[in-house]
């Protein structure tokens, strides 16, 4: 991602600074002019390629190290960590699927319990009672 963009920019910049084809052409010109033998030109180009490769590899390692450090500071997981998390998630999904299937099987084999329903009788409606007047009977006193 970010690393690829930086690599492309790096190689583009290095390509402008030290173009192996351009270097090879310059050596060929020196050989054609007689300022350098063909053997010396070949040796110079081989050394240039080795040095160029070693320096670009070192520079690439340094850039990758800086990128890793920056990503660690930003707490962005590496591609390896993301891959490991994806594998773990898939594993957990499989386990959850198996447990779900087992739970369904257990529920299917359980004998259903019948709920007893009791019918409650409604209480009889209360009759409205009218208040009776209390009658007092006078008792005669025995004479």
Segment 38-92, tens digit of pLDDT: 888 788 788 888 888 888 888 889 998 998 888 788 888 888 999 999 999 999 9
**Domain extents for the chain?**
1-76, 78-107
How far is CA 92 from each of CA 79, 85, 86, rounded to the nearest angstrom? 20, 10, 10
pTM: 0.35
| Neighbour-count burial for 51-86, b at 16+ CB within 10 Å, e otherwise | eeeeeeeeebeeeeeeeeeeeeeeeeeeeeeeeeee
């Amino acid at each position: 991602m970010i690393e690829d963009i930086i690599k492309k920019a790096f190689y583009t910049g290095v390509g402008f600074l030290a173009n192996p084809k351009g270097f090879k052409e310059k050596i060929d010109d020196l050989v054609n002019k007689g300022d350098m033998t063909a053997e010396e030109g070949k040796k110079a180009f081989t050394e240039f390629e080795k040095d160029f490769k070693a320096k670009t590899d070192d520079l690439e390692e340094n850039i990758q190290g800086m990128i890793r450090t920056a990503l660690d500071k930003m707490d962005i997981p590496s591609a390896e960590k993301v891959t490991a998390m994806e594998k773990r998630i898939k594993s957990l999904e499989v386990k959850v699927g198996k447990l779900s299937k087992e739970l369904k099987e257990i529920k299917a084999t359980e004998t259903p319990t019948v709920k007893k329903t009791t019918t409650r009788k409604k209480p009889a409606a209360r009759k409205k009672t009218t208040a009776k007047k209390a009658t007092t009977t006078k008792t005669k006193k025995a004479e």
